[in-house]
Structure 1
Amino acid sequence: MTRAQRRHDTRRIKARFYRKQRFHECWTTNPRNAGLFANHGKVCSCWLCGNPRKLGYLTLQEQRADLACDE
């Protein structure tokens, strides 16, 4: 991948972040968060973005497995 392509992709993903952030109050629009989002797609670890196990819940896959075992 060329440097120009990487730069293009980074700009494109940051623009996507700024469009998406309007719907998520936990994200603030600053360049640092846009860069974090561009690198790995997550900005925070709130209950919407983070791992549900940290809050004591099961993941969706684990919930489905439990339901399949009960039937």
Structure 2
Amino acid sequence: MSVEVEVGPQGATYFWGVDDQAREHSNDVSRTQIESLTRRLVSAIAARVQGSNPGWRRQYLQG
């Protein structure tokens, strides 16, 4: 899984990602669609990480 988002002065301009089925997705047309695709893929990545290693955040917390 992978995600790449390019952001310009007016917001997101390009999205490219690979989902958990190894399907590639891209969009450079609509900022709304780019934001939606980004949220969807980041949520899927976060769920996978949480399922694999529920305590991952503790590894990075600093006091």
Query: What TM-score does the superposition give when structure 1 sets the normalisation length?
Result: 0.32
Larger Rg belongs to: 1
Which has the bigger relative contact order, CA under 8 A and spacing at least 6? 2
Give the structure with the higher percent helix: 1
Give the structure with the higher percent strand: 2
Query: What TM-score does the superposition give when structure 2 sets the normalisation length?
Result: 0.35
